[in-house]
Structure 1
Amino acid sequence: MKRERITEGSLWSDPRGQVMKTPDDVAEMLRLRACGWGLKRIARQPGCSHHTVKDYVAAGGVKPFKSPERPKRLDGLEGWLRERLNRHRGNADAVRQDLLAEKGVTVSRRTLQRAVQPYRQALKAEALATTRFETPPGRQLQINFGERLVEIGGAKVKAFVFVATLGHSRRLHVRAFRAERQEHWFAGLESTFTTFGGVPEEVLMDNPRALVVRHDAVSRSVQFNDKLIAFAKHWASVLAPARPIGRTKGKTAALAT
């Protein structure tokens, strides 16, 4: 067997944490093993455990030392981070606040930005693939709810934010609540109509449980809550779920009366 030359400058590690053997010692172990020697007999030559010989033989020689990978604080939270980034529409700082409040995990802004970068790119790709749906003045109002952590009296409190956006001008009306119940949707809409001084022809929304009784994802048929239907008739407006064509829910469903 031709004896392989191993440089003295190579880094190596003993898998069992014993005293490190030189590259020449390890090469001699491999040579003797190739000659048919047993592990215990080989181990007596350099004065080490036969387990050490066994590990070097199994590895085929010395291996460069590699520091063990340090566990990261965000390991195992990939799915949660993606969902929260989508919920906050790419706002990484809002995700970082939720991370601290709900998971008790503190990370720097830069660390979180690196962790959510793939998900942010997916959001951008989706936005580029979305067709902008234009509406004439007074035609459409889009509504939605979001969540933010705010500090009140030195304590972190979750605020539920109602957001209404006019489809043509993109003018916004925002109002904060302590919850996201049916009465809060109605209060948000009423304050929007009062602030804007009028009622749009239709109101576009997602399918919140507080307003929708049943939503069939296949047929896209929607059964609205009776109180929502009465509310729409009172204000002489039309409401319906977000339409799949053109991704209309992006500025923020018309409820057909």
Structure 2
Amino acid sequence: MVIAEEGFFMIRDLHNKGYNDSEISRMTGFNRRTVRKYLAADELPKKQRRTGKLSKLDPFKDYITERITAYPLTARRIHREIQERGYTGGYTILKDYIRTIRPQYITPAILRFETAPGKQMQVDWGECGSQEIDGRKRKIYAFSAVLGYSRMRYMEFTLSTDVYTLIQCHKNAFDYFGGIPEEILYDNIKTVIIKRAIRARDHTWNAKFEDFFTHHGFIPRVCKPYNPQTKGKVENSIKFMKKDFLLGTRFTSFPDMDQKLLQWCNRVNSEIHGSTHEIPYDRLKEETLTPLGLIKPYIIKPYIIRREEKRKILRDAYVSYNGTLYSVPYQYAGQKALLELEDTTITVKIGSEVICTHQVASPSTKKVRVKEHFTGLQKEARANNSRKTQFAQDARHSQPFFEIVYPDVEERPLSTYDVFAGEVGP
């Protein structure tokens, strides 16, 4: 309790009038210890500043400020990082501290639409910068899928956003979630829809993607133009991934990026979600997804992705695909070929003839060589060299193609030419 100056002098005055400590305490309301303290003092004691107890967070504040300044990381991300550095305090005190040092942004309020279990999945692409891969700079994209009810996330990095990659990412997401939702929501992208119409049944879909969603039986939905809030769940998921995982993280390779992203998905799907306040893995049990391979009431085979790409076979009898060289029989070097890609198999064709097949190699593989493709090449090369040598020898000993014939010239004594020169008289 802070003692005012008048209180100090009142205590001393009562003491001078003969009142004891207990009586002064009752009369002034101050406790006896305070009374004795101020009677013993020659002047009003100054307030002593308390020495604050060192917070468990204090040793990490410089690191936190540095990370928040460099990247807009989430409080959860910072919490994990400082725990790895020895922090043993709570999450709440960290979150409160970050709130005081993070720049504040005003976010407009939007109406959030909730979906029933098994009803909807939202899909989107996000750009994630670029890296040098296989000796050249490549853009990196993130495919993101979120189940509307459970908020289960699935993401993977890709080097393309073409329709074949989009379909493969869907297959991977269905495997991860363990089933297929009733409908999937998209942006107006050409790999999904070519032309919008007033009525959904009149939309012109991408033919290859239409074959895919017809095969699996889900309904594609596209957002209204300029209304990204319609699929805010997946938009927010990509932003969260960049802040909570991608920013400031180091990777050893592109496959390393994908592996760590999957680990991140597993972790966040095991934590309480900020909107539902429940764990996505727990809510996934309530999703009524269509089991893989089943389209009521028929059981069908898994969807096979087939794509075609044209290539010219190199002079050393290789074709290139995704940065990897694949050998072909040497007899076809220099010819134009068609690559037919089906899941993990590459079939190389010349016209209608299949000349070889390969299994798609890992991105780190530079060259796939089949020994049999070059059988007989050395023998043929030696034969070619022998033919060239023989031709050269034959050329040296053969008759020329034409002959130069010089005219006959009359021989005369030299004195005759002297006469024409005028030096000797006739």
If the TM-score is normalised by the length of the shorter chain, which range does it land in? 0.3 to 0.5
Q: Which has the larger radius of gyration?
A: 2
Higher relative contact order (CA 8 A, sep 6+): 1
Normalization by structure 1: what TM-score? Answer: 0.44
Bigger proportion of residues as strand? 2
